[in-house]
Amino acid sequence: MDLLEPGCYIDELLALPEKQWGHWQALVVLLAARGPSPELDAACVGLRKVSVDRPLAAGHVDRLVEMALARKSG
């Protein structure tokens, strides 16, 4: 994956059939830079879903989602 082209990276992440923790984190950050979208909303939901079994990560997930949503509205 070529990180110099974030759009390509986003497309590759979105195409993954079974996204894991790190995939969702990257999607939230990269999609937030694009602004509001259904994909960003879905990525936030996806990150929260994979975080259910990671209680110690709850604070990190909350901060990441809050940052993404604040950025998209700003």
Point out the residues of the chain with pLDDT beneath 50.
1-2
In a domain, 58, yes or no: yes
Measured distance CA(43)–CA(21) in Å, rounded: 11
Q: Residue 1 has what pLDDT?
A: 45
The helix/strand/coil state of 34 is helix
In a domain, 1, yes or no: no
Query: How many domains does the chain divide into?
Result: 1
pLDDT tens for each residue of 54-66: 989 999 999 999 9
For 57, the domain range is: 6-73
The helix/strand/coil state of 65 is helix
